[in-house]
Amino acid sequence: MGDTHAGKPRGRQREADRNDARLMRAAREVFAERGWDAPVSEIARRAGIGMGSLYRRYPSKELLAQRMRVAGMEQLIAQARTALAEEPDPWAAFARFLRDALSAQGPGGPLLPLVGGRLPATDEVTAAAARLRAALDELVGDAHRAGVLSTDFASADIPLLLEHLAARLPVAGERATALHLRYLGLVLAGLRTPAAVAEPAGLPGPAPHWAELSELWNAPEG
């Protein structure tokens, strides 16, 4: 009997986690498309979740946005720790983290322009920020000590670098990611010192062509 009762909370928790993940994705997309004034009803609709379910979990738009901030930092922390644990070479760990972080941005684009400067830091946000800072300090510190990363580059550069590299592009998700990773490759080539482990020559992914750029520049709004 104990197992039966124990299974129900776990099942409900899994469903709640799935709903939360859908909400985070939808909120990021909707805020990116329509700005901070986007209606919460559109976030619920796109997530496929009723307004009652949304408000039970996040009674206000501000609480939803704060959770977005924490979830975004937790994702970066996990990616940094995975790179540190699985890549024994400091340069490989640094480069892998940036590639993983950039690839996982998703169609909503960077998080900072969506909620940055609008909300005060909560205890949860402050604690997540401290964990992220520690992970990025370790990642960059290892690369500095190994002599493979330019000493001009600081761990605090990483969040803003990712924001710059993950600009929203009016192209399909896979192509946008390929372009983002291409320009990350250019940045990495500039940050790498001669002592770094050699990587394959050339930038990742195909270069854009002028016809593609023309389509990007002339893409209709919305």
Q: Residue 217: helix, strand or coil by DSSP?
A: helix
- Going from the C-alpha of 190 to that of each of 55, 122, 198, 222, the distances in angstroms are 47, 37, 13, 35
- CB of 40 within 8 A of CB of 61? yes
Determine the Cα angle at 27 with ends 24 and 33, to 5°.
Answer: 140
The SS3 call for residue 192 is strand
With CA atoms as reference, report the closest residue to 93 among 3, 13, 189, 197. Answer: 197
Give the burial class of 125: count Cβ atoms within 10 A of its Cβ; 0-12 exposed, 13-18 middle, 19 or more buried.
Answer: middle
* pTM of the predicted protein model: 0.77
Q: What is residue 205's predicted lDDT score, i.e. its pLDDT?
A: 72
Q: In whole angstroms, what is the distance from residue 33 CA to residue 47 CA?
A: 15
pLDDT averaged per 10 residues, the chain (length 222): 51 78 86 83 92 89 86 91 96 95 71 62 86 94 95 90 81 80 90 70 68 62 48
Residue 69 confidence (pLDDT): 84
